[in-house]
Amino acid sequence: MDILFLAHFLNGFLMIAMPIGLAVYLTRKFKLGWRLWWIGAATFVLSQAGHIPFNWAATVLLNRTPLVNWPPGDQLVFNAIFLGLSAGLWEEGARYAMYRWWAKDARSWRKGLLAGAGHGGAEAIILGGLVLYTFIQMTAIRSTDLSTLVPANQLDLAHQQVAAYWSATWYDSLLGALERLFTIPTHIALAVLVLQAFTRKQSWWLWLAVGYHALLNAIAVLLVGKVGVYWTEAIIGGFAILSLFIIFILRRPEPVPDPEPASPIPAPAFTPQPVEETPENLDKTRYQ
């Protein structure tokens, strides 16, 4: 087994194993069930059910505007800003809706962490599943005559894709797992930021989360073609460190439930004592 084969497998495996391991740790540490993790995961899926068609429709519409005639550099800047805002609005809007209508009991820091871990974890697991699926496919056709599998007009492209996959360096093959390692803390920080809109009752926290999300995505889109994938991942790593700082600076004591009112102490029952009917007692009760 060569190291590249192992690296491709580990890339997908780690993308799935890391969020699951984090979820196990958080549920045990905070003594919480998996409900909020699953709610966060479902929130990510639902956000993409709107986000992906929206981006597709916007692309179709924008291709019919003068934007297609802009210089490539201007188009890149526009795409970075548009895609960043689109991701921020859809995902943070979905998180806000989650807290308001679905996870109404999630009003503490640790519950926000678990919901954010589910949101980022679902993304990592889905991408990891796709990576492993590609790995299985590429392994199966590695020594296969591609002319028996693809049409002749696509044969050259298929050969190039297979050759590129199996000629990558082992560390390039692990970049997907590294990016998920950096991205999951950011999702958790965003979940904690949106949570502040409810715990502090100030809506600007939601817009702060939208802006932070949009900024990170826009920078990634802008830089990957200019400074290369390594520097881009380093910058995403810097955002991960900033996200960890946000997570811990927003840590607040767990809310203390209102004490139950004490039950009133019942008054002792009055039991009349019989009075002995003696001449002296009768004389005391005589009307004066």
Distance (Å, whole) CA 15 – CA 184: 10
Q: Give the global pTM.
A: 0.85
Residue 249, pLDDT score: 96
Distance CA 69, CA 71 (A): 7
Residue 55, token pair as written in the block: 């981006």
Cβ pair 215, 270 in contact under 8 A = no
The model's confidence at residue 144, banded by pLDDT at 50, 70 and 90, is confident
- For the chain, what percentages of helix, strand and coil (3-state, to nearest 5) are there? 75, 0, 25
Computed over every residue of the chain, the mean pLDDT equals 90
In this predicted model, what pLDDT tens digit does every residue of 205-224 receive, in sequence order?
999 999 999 999 999 999 99
Helices 109-140 and 175-199 meet at what angle, rounded to 10?
Answer: 160
Kindly indicate the confidence band of residue 1, based on its pLDDT and cuts at 50, 70 and 90: low
**pLDDT tens digits for range 152-169:** 888 888 888 889 999 999
Average pLDDT of the segment spanning 87-105: 96
Numbers of helices and strands, H then E, in the chain: 9, 0
Mean local confidence (pLDDT), 34-56: 97
Contact predicate 80/221, CB 8 Å: yes
